[in-house]
């Protein structure tokens, strides 16, 4: 439905906000642009919405070039971070405004307003002013307003970042349900990786204006393409070291925690700098008589209770802390701070990447 073809945006003469972006978005897909601050997410969305134009490359919608089409000809709904409702107008007037601006008839407007407010379940609030609604309700009104043209595609730039955690998580599921119900395409921007994993069919990860990887949430978590993604998506222990061997998908890296055997995540050369990423849930505490492909001794630095699970930090060598997730609460209770502890993980649970990403 949407194609970015080698799209580049340069601000001034030096800032490569987006670099050679190739990305295709399918019909009815929920695609999230994810990345740290300044990585080019908003710029990408603005070029798709038509509020900004690429320095080079082209953008297509439904097979038609739209690279230089003005925003109001693109039939896209847009929701921004600051929901930008008009404070002096009622909710009904806020929703009707874009329709009136296009000269739609009164009856048709009333019908559209009614339908879109019902979608976000705020039908009783039409006569209120935005200031009389909570943050979450205002955000739902902004969503209703984006949907009022019945667009086939909705663009959202960090629409939930002003909300508290509980409300944010509820809205994530609501938006996702609405997207399925209406059969629309959503392109959603966030820098919150858990939000991206919860909501998306696919996630496009950006760093420094470059698309790093685009795939479904599970593959992103299980098969990160490089060290940046391994560190950015979910939690990972990152063990830095030197590649000692790399053959047939198996890599050995010499680290502060000793020699570590891992899967090869990316092309590596012997003697080069590498990092091995290991998820906290892949590491377990070993009994005295137990060993693992990777066995590491350390001292228990920290014991953190997190309700449904616990987390321990194990100090290995001088400066390395490994985070270990324990599902069994009793296992954590049996441990004592600063005592020696042996931990281990399988060679299949580590991924070796080039250190520079
Ligand atoms: N109008 C502009 N003029 C000059 N530089 C800009 C402009 N807009 C964005 N940039 C720069 O382009 C880069 C990408 O910015 P962008 O807003 O796309 O990042 P983002 O991924 O949306 O970040 P955030 O998570 O902070 O919103 C940044 O380095 C930013 O400073
Ligand atoms: Mg942004």
pLDDT at 329 over 70: no
Residue 106 CA to ligand 2 center (angstroms) comes to: 36
| Cβ-contact 118, 105 below 8 angstroms | no
Closest listed ligand to the CA of 41: 1
Q: Where are the domains of the chain?
A: 2-227, 228-354
Query: Percent helix, strand and coil across the chain, each rounded to 5?
Result: 30, 35, 35
Query: Do the domains 2-227 and 228-354 sit in the same CATH topology, yes or no?
Result: no
Class for the domain spanning 2-227: alpha beta
pLDDT in tens, 121-175: 888 999 999 999 988 888 889 989 988 888 889 999 998 887 888 888 988 998 9
- 46 backbone dihedrals φ, ψ, rounded to 5°: -65, -35
Q: What is the dihedral of CA 160, 161, 162, 165, to 10 degrees?
A: 80
Alpha carbons 129 and 45: distance in angstroms, whole number: 29
Domain boundaries 228-354, CATH class = mainly beta
In angstroms, the Cα distances linking 314 to 151, 245, 274, 276, 292 are 52, 27, 21, 17, 17
Span 267-303, pLDDT tens digits: 999 999 999 999 999 999 998 899 999 999 999 999 9
Its pTM stands at 0.89
Exposed / middle / buried, residue 303 (Cβ in 10 Å: 0-12, 13-18, 19+) = middle
Q: Cα of 43 to ligand 1 centre, how many Å?
A: 6
Find the residues whose C-beta lies inside 6 A of ligand 1: 11, 15, 17, 35, 37-43, 191
């Amino acid at each position: 439905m949407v194609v970015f073809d080698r799209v580049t945006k340069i601000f001034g003469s030096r800032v490569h906000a987006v670099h050679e972006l190739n990305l295709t978005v399918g019909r009815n897909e929920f695609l999230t642009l994810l990345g740290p601050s300044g990585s080019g997410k908003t710029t990408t969305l603005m070029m798709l919405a038509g509020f900004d134009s690429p320095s080079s490359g082209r953008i297509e919608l439904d097979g038609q070039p739209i690279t230089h089409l003005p925003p109001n000809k693109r039939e896209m709904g847009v929701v921004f971070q600051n929901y930008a409702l008009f404070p002096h107008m009622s909710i009904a007037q806020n929703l009707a405004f874009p329709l009136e601006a296009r000269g739609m008839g009164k009856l048709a407007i009333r019908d559209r307003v009614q339908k879109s407010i019902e979608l976000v379940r705020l039908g009783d609030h039409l006569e209120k002013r935005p200031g009389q609604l909570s943050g979450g309700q205002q955000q739902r009104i902004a969503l209703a307003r984006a949907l009022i043209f019945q667009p086939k595609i909705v663009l959202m730039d960090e629409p939930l970042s002003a909300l508290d955690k509980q409300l944010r998580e509820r809205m994530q599921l609501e938006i996702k349900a609405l997207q399925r119900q209406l059969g629309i395409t959503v392109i959603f921007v966030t820098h919150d990786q858990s939000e991206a994993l919860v909501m998306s069919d696919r996630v496009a990860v950006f760093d420094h204006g470059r698309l790093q990887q685009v795939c479904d949430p599970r593959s992103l978590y299980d098969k990160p393409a490089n060290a940046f993604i391994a560190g950015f998506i979910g939690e990972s222990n990152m063990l830095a070291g030197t590649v000692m061997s790399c053959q047939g998908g198996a890599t050995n890296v010499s680290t502060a925690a000793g020699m570590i055997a891992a899967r090869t995540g990316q092309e590596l050369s012997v003697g080069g700098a590498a990092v091995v990423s290991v998820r906290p849930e892949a590491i377990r505490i070993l009994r005295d008589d137990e060993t693992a492909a990777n066995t590491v001794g350390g001292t228990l630095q920290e014991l953190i209770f997190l309700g449904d699970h616990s987390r321990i930090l194990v100090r290995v060598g001088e400066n390395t802390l490994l985070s270990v997730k324990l599902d069994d609460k009793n296992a954590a209770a049996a441990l004592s701070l600063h005592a020696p502890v042996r931990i281990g993980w399988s060679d299949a649970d580590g991924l070796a990447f080039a250190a520079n990403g």
